[in-house]
Amino acid sequence: MSGLRRYHAPVWDEPVVMEMGSPGRRGFIPPAAGDADTAGFVPDSMKRGERAGLPELSEAEVQRHYIHLAQETLGMMGVNLFGTCTIKYSPLLGERISADHIAELHPGQDPETIQGVLAVLHGMSEILCELSGMDQFVFQAGGGADAAYVNAVTTRAYHADRGELEQRNEIITTIQTHPCNAATAAAAGFKVVTLMLGEDGYPPLEALEAAVSERTAGMMIGNPDDMGIYNPEIKQWVDLVHEAGGLCFYDHANFNGAMSKLRARELGFDACMFMLHKTFAAPFGGGGPAVGAYGCSSELEPYMPRPLVREQGGSYSLEDVDEAPKSVGRVREYWGNVPQIVKAYSWVRSMGAEGIRFASDMSVLANNYMEKRLLEIPGLSISHPDIKSRRLEMTRYSLGKLQEDTGVTVFDVQNRMVDFGVDAPWLSHEPWLVPEPITPEAGETWPIEDLDYWIDVLAQVCREAYEDPEIVKTAPHNQAIGPVDGSRLDEPDQWATTWRAYKRKHGDRPKGRTSP
Amino acid sequence: MAGPTSLRRRIGLIVNPIAGMGGKVGLRGTDGDELQRRARELGATEMAAERAGVALDRLRGQGFTLTVAGGAMGEKVAREHGFETEVTGRFGCHTSPDDTRDAALAMADSGVELIMFAGGDGTARVIRESIGRRIPVVGIPTGVKMHSGCFARSPAAAADVVAEYLGHDPGSVRLDEAEVVDRDADDPKATTTLYGTVSVPEARSRLLAAKSRSSGRDAAAMRGACLEVVEEMVPGDTYVIGPGSTMGWVRRHLGFQSDPLAIDVVRDRELIAGDVTEAELDELTAEAGRVHLVMGVIGGQGSLLGRGNQQIGPKTLERVDPGDLIVVADLQKLIELGSSPLTVDTGDTDIDRRFTGYRPVRIGRKESLIYEVAA
Ligand SMILES: Cc1ncc(COP(=O)(O)O)c(C=O)c1O
């Protein structure tokens, strides 16, 4: 074997917290309320009939339990080149600033007392306006998909205000644009018209021409798309949609390869979104907290969510829903995940314009460096091998040949890669356009040694697939758990996401002694 | 995993020994004695057994009983690959479609759960005629023509479908309908004809995504898309409902069923003529006001309109505004066309031209995909 690390994850067989502990055990016992009058404090209608079925454990047990679980996550701590996600290192400084300065604030405070954080929100909006050419940003959305939803409802409000909503009920997207765009358009009540890719790796202009009509409410697309392919005809696209009377939204979540190189507004887009938990180095994973920053032109500003931070003569205030009658209102409580905004702000300020440009170049360079080495691996090929232009910050590959030759699937490859201490790679959103897809994204923060190690791991796993496929098919071997049988994953009688549902479906499990 | 024989799962294997012989020598198929003779003369070898062997190797150790057709139709290759088998029927080296038909029937009658077969569209047709949808089948791609929906991508993938099937309790595997289509091997311009449907195990993961096979989720999408078509039907307008399994959903939503090959005419959500001929359809549409065509996409070739559904003739097509051609197709089926366009080939280039270009295809409720249609 090459110089790969000898790795093994801790194995704990950690039980579910509900199966641990013992009646009466406590972590912290608060002083009794004494003779304070609590009558009527909780309305009768809200009182429980029975005590809640909570786990009963000591503080140390709880700590240990969660440390064990953290060690059993199969990743998000190793080299993680998870494509379409732009995994970057999140500097600890941002963590400290938000812990030390933000945790104690409350958005309900008088704005006079929180001028600093309002200045940060305002500043972040200005920076994103500079990067995109838009006129105003809002940070309420709790993630990228949520920001796409903000666009769908803003588009809806815009057409409704002009009396055209009934007629304009279609949103155009492309098959390699992140599926949250189609999903949120549908959630907002639109029909979804999707364009298939053409020979160049992006849809032909004629397909768009066939799609636009008086029914077009807007277009929601990413560029580069999830394959890392940039559509150079984008300006004509925007023009076509505008001529038909639709609005154009740029899903800028995959901004790394394009940041500082182009501005959405200059390409004609009316709105765009950035993900602060991706491109702007706020922590990512575990389902949040995240921030989808939504920005739009001054024409759409009346419709976008409120509250917005306004500045006048160096003092900041909040413009709320009641001051913006056409606004779609709130899509979430307060102003969004402020600690994340502060982390992103501290990152972007420390990078500066030069740093942003350099990071963008590095992410494209790193991806193309990886491409050269990856294409030497037998069994692996690139999507759209004939197109001449280079991919930007990520590339879609296929392990279809490996699967044909050996029976080893890309899921098996994922499972085996984690045996070497790297995180499972991202495959592709649905639908799969190439067989057995895999989509690494290098980003700018991983040192070249990490990229090489990741490539070495993939090369090793592919070699094993040809020489000893069983090793790969039965992986993981060095992880916290073995392979999981996912074949009945969509059967509701099998799975439970809460303890109560588990007991209902499977009956009580005997409570054993579980403390190691 | 070994247990008493009676409790073991039983899987059938039928090899059409001459399938695929034509390909290497430039013939488009080996249907019929004449083409077979020519193939042999041109030096074709029997590759079906070899491909079946690849699938069998991959299924070793799965703990099932293999029931094979005798001789060259399965028994021989199973032996060579170390399988102990049950044999139905004895077949010599000169085999015929009747032998395939008999073997499939005998297997279905004797309680075999699923039949693997090595062959092409011709073999699939014969098996469909013989057992219909009684038990599921999985095609090991071998023939020259493999446009039917029951084929896996490769012999290895066919084995994987069977292995996955065996991983579930008998009876708990969800089944899908797959179209059986074929083209005339002698005619290079021939379009695909739909012969009916067979039953296949539902593809659980993309690994198993055989050519043009829908998974359960896609079936829901098709159901939804067809419901929308029915909901949008304009009172008084005439709707010609095309053939195929997807169109079965339109019929079910309207409250009737018909043969997968039939073309039906609907007005005000009522069936006004079932299983029409070209002449009947021409007559009906001549008197009708606005005529809409509701079509699925036939087979792995992306055939939309053509001589495969001859009942929809030039006279009717002339009366249809291209914007009133409603196409419903499974997204996966379109993806597996590998970016080649849907085709119209009615035999009349002027009519063909009217229907070409980029057109919406309904891929779900409120969802469409813009896809190229070419002549
Ligand atoms: C291009 C693109 N758009 C939208 C999203 C959705 O973002 P989120 O996961 O924050 O909802 C992603 C997620 O990675 C993405 O890559």
Reported as a single tens digit per residue, the pLDDT across A213-243 is 999 999 999 999 888 899 999 999 999 999 9
Same domain membership, residue B253 and residue B107:
no
Predicted local distance difference test score (pLDDT) of residue B273:
95
How close B212 comes to chain A (CA, Å)?
13
pLDDT 10s digits, B146-160 = 778 888 877 888 898
Predicted local distance difference test score (pLDDT) of residue B187:
63
Last residue of a domain, one of A315, A349, A383: A349
Residue found by looking up tokens 């032109």 in the block: A297
Predicted local distance difference test score (pLDDT) of residue B23:
54
Share of chain A above pLDDT 70, in %: 96
Predicted local distance difference test score (pLDDT) of residue A352:
97
* pLDDT > 60? residue B235: yes
Average pLDDT, chain B: 83
Same domain membership, residue B151 and residue B31:
yes
Residues of A with CB below 8 A from B360's CB?
A: 193, 210-211
Residues forming a β-bridge with B68: B13, B87
Predicted local distance difference test score (pLDDT) of residue B244:
84
Same domain membership, residue B329 and residue B190:
no
Predicted local distance difference test score (pLDDT) of residue A271:
98
B63 part of a folded domain: yes
Two structure tokens written together for A482:
């073995």
Q: Which of A198, A210, A431 sits opposite B359 (nearest CB)?
A: A210
Predicted local distance difference test score (pLDDT) of residue A338:
94
* pLDDT > 70? residue B281: yes
Q: Is B310 left (phi over 0), alpha (psi -120 to 50) or beta?
A: alpha
Q: How far apart are CA A227 and CA A371, in angstroms?
A: 13
pLDDT 10s digits, A160-199 = 999 999 999 999 999 999 999 999 999 999 999 999 999 8
A50 part of a folded domain: no
A439 part of a folded domain: yes
Q: Which alpha helices (DSSP H) does A133-227 contain, by range?
A: 144-161, 180-187, 205-211
Same domain membership, residue A436 and residue A394:
yes
B281 part of a folded domain: yes
User: In chain B, where do the E strands start and end?
Assistant: 9-15, 64-69, 85-88, 114-119, 137-141, 175-182, 193-201, 238-241, 264-267, 270-273, 291-295, 303-306, 325-328, 342-345, 357-364, 367-374
ipTM: 0.88
Same domain membership, residue B55 and residue B140:
yes
Same domain membership, residue B136 and residue B234:
no
pLDDT range class, residue A108, cuts 50, 70, 90: very high
Predicted local distance difference test score (pLDDT) of residue B206:
32
pLDDT range class, residue B375, cuts 50, 70, 90: confident
B6 touches chain A (CB under 8 A): no
C-alpha of residue A178 to centroid of ligand 1, in Å: 7
B230 part of a folded domain: yes
Contact B52, B155 (CB under 8 A): yes
Same domain membership, residue B237 and residue B147:
no
Residues of B with CB below 8 A from A207's CB?
A: 358, 370, 372
User: In B8-150, where do the E strands start and end?
Assistant: 9-15, 64-69, 85-88, 114-119, 137-141
B360 touches chain A (CB under 8 A): yes
A263 part of a folded domain: yes
Two structure tokens written together for A135:
């006129």
A147 part of a folded domain: yes
B259 part of a folded domain: yes
Q: Mean pLDDT across the stretch B48-77? A: 90
Q: How far apart are CA B203 and CA B208, in angstroms?
A: 5
| A182/B367 CB distance under 8 A | yes
Predicted local distance difference test score (pLDDT) of residue A293:
98
Last residue of a domain, one of A349, A371, A393: A349
Q: Which of A194, A204, A487 sits opposite B369 (nearest CB)?
A: A194
The count of domains in chain A is 2
Same domain membership, residue B252 and residue B145:
no
pLDDT 10s digits, A303-326 = 999 999 999 999 999 999 999 999
pLDDT 10s digits, A195-212 = 999 989 999 999 999 999
Same domain membership, residue B363 and residue B227:
yes
The count of domains in chain B is 2
**Bond preceding residue A289 cis, omega within 30 of 0:** yes
Q: Which residues line ligand 1 (CB under 6 A)?
A: A 84-85, 143-145, 178, 180, 222, 251, 253-254, 275, 290, 292
pLDDT range class, residue A507, cuts 50, 70, 90: confident
B362 part of a folded domain: yes
pLDDT 10s digits, A452-502 = 999 999 999 999 999 999 999 999 999 999 988 776 677 788 788 889 899
Same domain membership, residue A125 and residue A197:
yes
B82: CATH: 3.40.50.10330
pLDDT range class, residue B307, cuts 50, 70, 90: low
C-alpha of residue A145 to centroid of ligand 1, in Å: 6
* pLDDT > 80? residue B179: yes
| A411/B205 CB distance under 8 A | yes
Same domain membership, residue A227 and residue A151:
yes
Q: Mean pLDDT across the stretch A434-445? A: 94
pLDDT 10s digits, A62-102 = 999 999 998 988 776 789 999 988 989 889 998 898 888 89
Q: Mean pLDDT across the stretch B306-325? A: 86
Q: How far apart are CA A269 and CA A242, in angstroms?
A: 9
pLDDT 10s digits, A138-148 = 999 999 999 99
C-alpha of residue B2 to centroid of ligand 1, in Å: 48
Same domain membership, residue A375 and residue A311:
no
* pLDDT > 70? residue B1: no
| B369/A196 CB distance under 8 A | yes
In total, the C-beta contacts within 8 angstroms joining chain A to chain B are: 75
Domain span at residue B51 reads 9-201
Contact B293, B312 (CB under 8 A): yes
> Phi, psi at residue B235, to the nearest 5°?
-55, 135
Nearest CA in chain B to A403: B207
Higher model confidence: residue A36 or residue A107? Answer: A107
Amino acid letter at A345?
Y
For strand B114-119 and strand B264-267, is the pairing parallel, antiparallel, or unpaired? unpaired
Predicted local distance difference test score (pLDDT) of residue B363:
96
Predicted local distance difference test score (pLDDT) of residue B146:
72
pLDDT range class, residue B338, cuts 50, 70, 90: confident
B332 part of a folded domain: yes
Average pLDDT, chain A: 92
Last residue of a domain, one of A349, A383, A412: A349
Global pTM reads: 0.83
Q: How many CB atoms lie within 10 A of CB A503?
A: 14
Same domain membership, residue A196 and residue A139:
yes
Measure CA of the first residue to CA of the last residue in chain A; give whole Å: 35
B213 part of a folded domain: no
A70 part of a folded domain: no
Domain span at residue A384 reads 363-473
CA angle A181, A186, A190 (to 5 degrees): 110
B308 part of a folded domain: yes
How close B229 comes to chain A (CA, Å)?
14
How close A208 comes to chain B (CA, Å)?
8
Best B162, B202, B207 residue to mutate vs chain A (most A CBs within 10 Å):
B207
Measure CA of the first residue to CA of the last residue in chain B; give whole Å: 54
Predicted local distance difference test score (pLDDT) of residue B35:
66
Predicted local distance difference test score (pLDDT) of residue A277:
94
Predicted local distance difference test score (pLDDT) of residue B205:
38
* pLDDT > 50? residue A132: yes
A279 part of a folded domain: yes
A44 part of a folded domain: no
Predicted local distance difference test score (pLDDT) of residue B43:
58
- What is residue A445's three-state secondary structure? coil
Same domain membership, residue B38 and residue B156:
yes
Same domain membership, residue B286 and residue B358:
yes
Contact A135, A129 (CB under 8 A): yes
* pLDDT > 50? residue B204: no
pLDDT 10s digits, B3-26 = 444 468 999 999 998 876 655 555
Same domain membership, residue A388 and residue A326:
no
Burial of A294 (0-12, 13-18, 19+ CB in 10 A): buried
A272: CATH: 3.40.640.10
Share of chain A above pLDDT 90, in %: 76
Predicted local distance difference test score (pLDDT) of residue B19:
78
Higher model confidence: residue A116 or residue B142? Answer: A116
Same domain membership, residue A112 and residue A214:
yes
Same domain membership, residue A368 and residue A446:
yes
Interface of B with A in 112-171 (CB under 8 A): 153-154, 156-157, 160, 164, 167-168
* pLDDT > 90? residue B259: no
pLDDT range class, residue B174, cuts 50, 70, 90: confident
pLDDT range class, residue A283, cuts 50, 70, 90: confident
Same domain membership, residue A317 and residue A399:
no
Last residue of a domain, one of B139, B167, B201: B201
* pLDDT > 60? residue A58: yes
* pLDDT > 80? residue B38: no
Range with the lowest mean pLDDT among B36-50, B136-150, B239-253? B36-50
Contact B23, B144 (CB under 8 A): yes
Same domain membership, residue A402 and residue A274:
no
Predicted local distance difference test score (pLDDT) of residue B192:
67
* pLDDT > 70? residue B210: no
User: Which protein residue's CA is at the shortest distance from atom 9 of ligand 1?
Assistant: A144
Predicted local distance difference test score (pLDDT) of residue B2:
41
A413: CATH: 3.90.1150.10
pLDDT range class, residue A442, cuts 50, 70, 90: very high
A501 part of a folded domain: no
Same domain membership, residue A367 and residue A345:
no
Q: How far apart are CA A337 and CA A291, in angstroms?
A: 6
List Cβ neighbours of A506 (8 Å cut-off, separation of 6 or more): A496
Predicted local distance difference test score (pLDDT) of residue A111:
95
Same domain membership, residue A267 and residue A316:
yes
Two structure tokens written together for B328:
């419903």
